[in-house]
Structure 1
Amino acid sequence: MTMLLRRLLLACTGLAALAAPAAAQPAPQRVLRVAPHADLRTLDPVVASITITRIHGLMVYETLFAWDSRLTPHPQMADRHEVSADGLTHTIGLRDGLRFHDGRPVNARDVVASLGRWMARDTTGGKLREYLASLDVVDDRTIALKLTKPLGMVPFALGSAVGAIPVIMREEDARTDPHTPITSAIGSGPFRFNRGEWRPGARVVYDRNPDYVPRGEPADGLAGGRQVKVDRVEWQIMPDPQTAAAALQTGEIDIWEQPSQDLLPLLSRGRDIRVERYTSLSNQVMLRPNHLHPPFNDPRARLALAHATDQADFLAAGFGDERFWRRCNAYFVCGTVNGTEAGAEAYAVPNLETARRLLSESGYRGEPLVLTTSYDIAPIGRMAEVAAERLKRAGFNVDLQVADWGTVTTRQQNRNPPSQGGYNLFVTYASGATMQSPLTNIGTNMGCERAWAGWPCDAEAERLRNAVVEAADEPARLAAVETLHRHLAQVQPYRVLGQFDQPYARRANISGVLDAPVMLYWNIEKR
């Protein structure tokens, strides 16, 4: 073959290649990259009520009902809810298309087992269980929940997005002891947990569930259609705020879930960055004592905490600029319908003399008190430092012990004495949606073994909480809330340290973040 002929053949081949249709290329994955506020260590959203596990749970699992942005419940997994004429029997049917990630249809037996496990752990679930006569399977897609008294709280409780959430698990998972965390993460929700790519301390991955059938209604908070508009969500663990800020500025991540308050002015100036609130309810900060062991098994020692602390010291250390926080002594969050401060007026200004007297009367004699904390969530670590310093002025001998957040939250469940791996105190915060109601507030549940970490035990508080649940109308309910609050102010299940607004930061090409108690990752678009 001559050189000229070879050149002609090559030219024709090139022209043919240009003329031929290009081979189909796979579409690039739409990956949403997020710096979450903490690392995921516990996969079980019934055992762990911490926010990071709750967000994980809401991605992987679903609930029978779901709260909208106004905390009003709507059917989610349910498509039918009927209440008997006497108000005692709630019959709930499952909607079409519900399948677990392993392919098995969701069955009423899964629902009954899941709700039973949740009721054994959660503040709201425990309250519902007090009025439960039976919880039965009617058929494969229907359950019957029977009460001893008529209650309007059933849909609200079964749609809870706070505390331990009433997610529907496979029956075999839900039969696990409610105090033993399950290690699987197979739900029926819009995302699948990618265990193969899970790297604790580094990365958590969720893939869009291609078999998920969303509801037809528009998304509103946790309610409505959970439309997933990305292929994959990656949580990139970045405990260092400077690293997370730089990653957001360069586009390495799309969302920073809880940006450091001192970096907000810098982020706000970025042309491609938006700083916004994802919920209209303020968060509440608390100093939680362990009621099982001295000195905080005595209410006088707990009252000493209230008199020894100035909320402004904690909030300024944790959240900086005062425009992001406010003093508030309401257990049920200032600015909400339940936000009374009745009975707590004496704690507005610290009184060290009163604190020292009460502490002495409680029998405390200077024993070391373990305050466990972490700097993985920077505001919590900074506020724990303030607690250690301020409480020492009142006569508390505080031993500040720092660990990673996963270790701290695991230790919070340890009922042993502090010398055997337990603790005396910790600082934390919870969403306004969690704390705004006596039904959902995890800290004011004083039901002994059924209570949240710290395990307060007070029969009168529980009687007054029941009065709120059973109130005949709204005026009666609000009066019952005030009576309850006055009692709580005297027994101090925890020291309220005020409240704050936590914005998130996103790249400008991200849209669709919903107003909800926690950050949600459905409905988000990445352009």
Structure 2
Amino acid sequence: MKLKLALLATIALVAMPSYLMAQERGGVINVATVGEPPTLDPMTSTADLVGIVTQHIFETLYTFDAKWNVTPLLAESLPEISADGKTYTIKLRDGIKFHDGSDMTSEDVVASLNRWTKLASRGKQAAEFIETITATDPATVTIQLKQSYAPLASLLAFNNSAAIILPAEKQADVMTDFVGTGPYTLKERKADQYIQLQRFDGYKSREGESDGYGGARHQYLDEIRFVPVPDPNTRVEAAVSGQYDYIDALPVESFDRLKSAQATQPLVLKPFGYPIFVFNTAEGNVKNVEIRRAIRQALSMEDMLAAAFGSTDFYALDGNIYPSNFAWSTDAGVEGNYNIADPEGAKEAATAAGYDGKPIRILTSRQYEFHYKMAQVAAEYLKLAGFAVDLQVVDWATLTQRRADKGLWDIYITHSPFLPEPALIGSLSPSSPGWWNTPARNAAVAAFSSEVDPEKRLKLWADVQKAMYDEVPYMKIGDFNGVSSKSTKLEGVEASPWPYFWNASVTK
């Protein structure tokens, strides 16, 4: 899919650095994040915040380059795949050390991948297709599949529900010893204050040029400190004043202030991704697909986007899961099922479906202010449609904990970047909060996942999108651009969905 998935140059999500001068070694940076990550174990969480922090501590066999192609990280090269697509032979790089000083071998990789298939939602997704994972020799791992599974390499590359490699003796279900192979180690964590990382002197970078998340990873900085700043307005003021070196997830209405500030400069990722309303298909009011369809019928995606992002400079009304400049773009299932804004018709549909008047529990957070604004608009439309609404506004860490409990919510609001492989979309996994697991889902996703021919996969993805619109496990609201900012003294950092700082430096 390399050629099929290549993005237009104007939307490359992870750009090569634009500066030419040598970067200086040393220094400490402070990164303002939307909040406290619920865990530092990226296998067990799909929260972007977890991936942003932990990608500096832990590494995977593969990652993504600047054009979103899978590229080796801890693996020596791309996997050798048998003609029938069932056998993946993975050669490992030599000389890789863990933070505890031990050498990485195939034994560690096998133990880690087994933990991934047991605990991670995306690992469980892959486990359905995996027969065995074995250490062929100290530097080689073989994955034997029950049938061909095209998304495997992308799943192994993703930093979200990530297949990180840990020492074989540190595979407890609950991680308490955070030992990876990454360029930075965990020095100290003070809850709700900071997560402090320091340079790992035993790190072995890949050679060559940096290339998105791939290629060389430089360790110019002595330390990286991630600081939770939950209030978006506080993050804006901190950006303008230069209090932090990098500030993530800023409200789009702050762009003009950031542009005119002296200490900082805005970074815009266009397009970043799409907001999502995820339904609880396992328990509660919205387990009934007709209720989910009635909720969708009531809502105005256009009004929610306008409330969340203001100007169309920062959003686009689009029901296709992927926008038109992606090879995956299809309008299958969209017509008549997107931006309907018909609360009166929705009221009739909900009554016919047996809606009993119990509140629809919407779980959201103000740390991503656009989530909260969309929730407010949605609540008003649902009330017009006769639904009772319980809008629960919590911090992001609490949201990620509550969404794992089937009894606590009906809808939660999140967002996703446009991912290079649709199988990476979290809601496609039956183990992901939302728990979409129906015959239609299983048939469509299995056909898509087992096909290796690029042209056929494009058509089969259209079938998956149609099933998503038919059964409404979640709703895409539209496309949006992301805004963050960085200090004018910070080099080596570009706009990206999961900002990384191993190539960052501070000018003296």
Q: TM-score, normalised by structure 1?
A: 0.86
Q: Which residue of 1 aligns with 2:21?
A: none
Looking at structure 1, the residues matched to 60 and 35 of structure 2 have their Cα atoms a distance apart, in angstroms, of: 24
2:257 is aligned, of 253, 263, 266, to 266
Distance 1:516 1:28, change over 3 A: closer
Distance 1:390 1:194, change over 3 A: farther
1:406-427 deviation line (CA, Å, top 9, x unaligned): 1111111112x2xxxx111111
**Deviation of 1:341 (Å):** 2.2
What's the secondary structure of 1:78's corresponding residue? coil
- In 2, are the aligned partners of 1:438 and 1:468 still within 8 Å (CA)? no
Looking at structure 1, the residues matched to 151 and 372 of structure 2 have their Cα atoms a distance apart, in angstroms, of: 36
Looking at structure 2, the residues matched to 293 and 153 of structure 1 have their Cα atoms a distance apart, in angstroms, of: 29
Q: Which residue of 1 aligns with 2:417?
A: 431
1:199-249 deviation line (CA, Å, top 9, x unaligned): 222212111111111000211111111112111111222223343333333
Counterpart mapping for 1:405-416 below 5 A: 405-415=396-406
- In 1, are the aligned partners of 2:267 and 2:494 still within 8 Å (CA)? no
Counterpart mapping for 1:86-485 below 5 A: 86-122=84-120, 124-161=122-159, 163-176=160-173, 181-195=174-188, 198-277=189-268, 279=269, 281-346=271-336, 347-415=338-406, 417=407, 422-433=408-419, 437-445=421-429, 447=430, 450=431, 452-485=432-465
Looking at structure 2, the residues matched to 137 and 130 of structure 1 have their Cα atoms a distance apart, in angstroms, of: 20
Looking at structure 1, the residues matched to 145 and 231 of structure 2 have their Cα atoms a distance apart, in angstroms, of: 49
- In 2, are the aligned partners of 1:289 and 1:424 still within 8 Å (CA)? yes
Looking at structure 2, the residues matched to 272 and 247 of structure 1 have their Cα atoms a distance apart, in angstroms, of: 10
What's the secondary structure of 1:171's corresponding residue? coil
Q: More deviation in 139-148 or 205-214?
A: 139-148
**Deviation of 1:284 (Å):** 1.2
- In 2, are the aligned partners of 1:93 and 1:142 still within 8 Å (CA)? yes
What's the secondary structure of 2:424's corresponding residue? coil
Looking at structure 2, the residues matched to 274 and 457 of structure 1 have their Cα atoms a distance apart, in angstroms, of: 44
Looking at structure 2, the residues matched to 28 and 525 of structure 1 have their Cα atoms a distance apart, in angstroms, of: 7
- In 1, are the aligned partners of 2:320 and 2:331 still within 8 Å (CA)? yes
Q: Which residue of 2 aligns with 1:13?
A: none
**Deviation of 1:472 (Å):** 4.8
What's the secondary structure of 1:173's corresponding residue? coil
Instruction: Read off the aligned partner of 2:179 and give its amino acid letter.
Output: I
Looking at structure 2, the residues matched to 141 and 257 of structure 1 have their Cα atoms a distance apart, in angstroms, of: 38
Unaligned runs of 5+ in 2: 1-23
Looking at structure 2, the residues matched to 515 and 84 of structure 1 have their Cα atoms a distance apart, in angstroms, of: 37
**Deviation of 1:333 (Å):** 4.6
Instruction: Read off the aligned partner of 2:252 and give its amino acid letter.
Output: Q
What RMSD over aligned residues (CA atoms) do the two structures have, in Å?
A: 2.1
Looking at structure 2, the residues matched to 351 and 240 of structure 1 have their Cα atoms a distance apart, in angstroms, of: 34
Looking at structure 2, the residues matched to 120 and 516 of structure 1 have their Cα atoms a distance apart, in angstroms, of: 30
**Deviation of 1:73 (Å):** 0.8
Looking at structure 2, the residues matched to 437 and 309 of structure 1 have their Cα atoms a distance apart, in angstroms, of: 28
Looking at structure 2, the residues matched to 249 and 514 of structure 1 have their Cα atoms a distance apart, in angstroms, of: 18
What's the secondary structure of 1:59's corresponding residue? coil
Distance 1:219 1:302, change over 3 A: same
What's the secondary structure of 2:210's corresponding residue? coil
**Deviation of 1:526 (Å):** 1.2
Unaligned runs of 5+ in 1: 1-26
- In 2, are the aligned partners of 1:305 and 1:495 still within 8 Å (CA)? no
1:83-121 deviation line (CA, Å, top 9, x unaligned): 345443222122122111111112222211221222345
Q: More deviation in 334-343 or 481-490?
A: 334-343
- In 1, are the aligned partners of 2:57 and 2:180 still within 8 Å (CA)? yes
**Deviation of 1:497 (Å):** 1.0
Distance 1:472 1:214, change over 3 A: closer
What's the secondary structure of 2:321's corresponding residue? coil
**Deviation of 1:323 (Å):** 0.8
What's the secondary structure of 1:429's corresponding residue? strand
Higher relative contact order (CA 8 A, sep 6+): 2
Instruction: Read off the aligned partner of 1:155 and give its amino acid letter.
Output: A
Looking at structure 2, the residues matched to 257 and 204 of structure 1 have their Cα atoms a distance apart, in angstroms, of: 15
**Deviation of 1:58 (Å):** 0.8
Instruction: Read off the aligned partner of 1:366 and give its amino acid letter.
Output: G
Q: Which residue of 2 aligns with 1:518?
A: 498
Distance 1:211 1:312, change over 3 A: same
Instruction: Read off the aligned partner of 1:440 and give its amino acid letter.
Output: L
What's the secondary structure of 2:132's corresponding residue? strand
- In 2, are the aligned partners of 1:317 and 1:383 still within 8 Å (CA)? yes
Looking at structure 1, the residues matched to 120 and 480 of structure 2 have their Cα atoms a distance apart, in angstroms, of: 25
Looking at structure 2, the residues matched to 459 and 423 of structure 1 have their Cα atoms a distance apart, in angstroms, of: 24
Distance 1:72 1:127, change over 3 A: same
Looking at structure 1, the residues matched to 307 and 339 of structure 2 have their Cα atoms a distance apart, in angstroms, of: 18
Looking at structure 1, the residues matched to 169 and 271 of structure 2 have their Cα atoms a distance apart, in angstroms, of: 37
1:346-386 deviation line (CA, Å, top 9, x unaligned): 12331223322322233211012322222222222222222
Distance 1:140 1:472, change over 3 A: closer
Q: Which residue of 1 aligns with 2:14?
A: none
Looking at structure 2, the residues matched to 374 and 69 of structure 1 have their Cα atoms a distance apart, in angstroms, of: 31
What's the secondary structure of 1:170's corresponding residue? coil
Distance 1:146 1:28, change over 3 A: closer
Looking at structure 2, the residues matched to 69 and 207 of structure 1 have their Cα atoms a distance apart, in angstroms, of: 26
- In 2, are the aligned partners of 1:60 and 1:191 still within 8 Å (CA)? yes
**Deviation of 1:122 (Å):** 4.5
**Share of identical aligned residues, percent?**
27
Distance 1:271 1:393, change over 3 A: same
Q: Which residue of 1 aligns with 2:12?
A: none
- Structure (1 or 2) with the larger CA radius of gyration: 1
**Deviation of 1:146 (Å):** 1.0
Q: TM-score, normalised by structure 2?
A: 0.89
**Deviation of 1:136 (Å):** 0.7
1:256-281 deviation line (CA, Å, top 9, x unaligned): 1122222111111124422123x554
What's the secondary structure of 1:135's corresponding residue? strand
Instruction: Read off the aligned partner of 1:429 and give its amino acid letter.
Output: H
- In 2, are the aligned partners of 1:37 and 1:377 still within 8 Å (CA)? yes
- In 2, are the aligned partners of 1:295 and 1:363 still within 8 Å (CA)? no
Distance 1:134 1:280, change over 3 A: farther
**Deviation of 1:157 (Å):** 2.5
Distance 1:297 1:151, change over 3 A: closer
Q: Which residue of 2 aligns with 1:51?
A: 48
Q: More deviation in 206-215 or 38-47?
A: 38-47
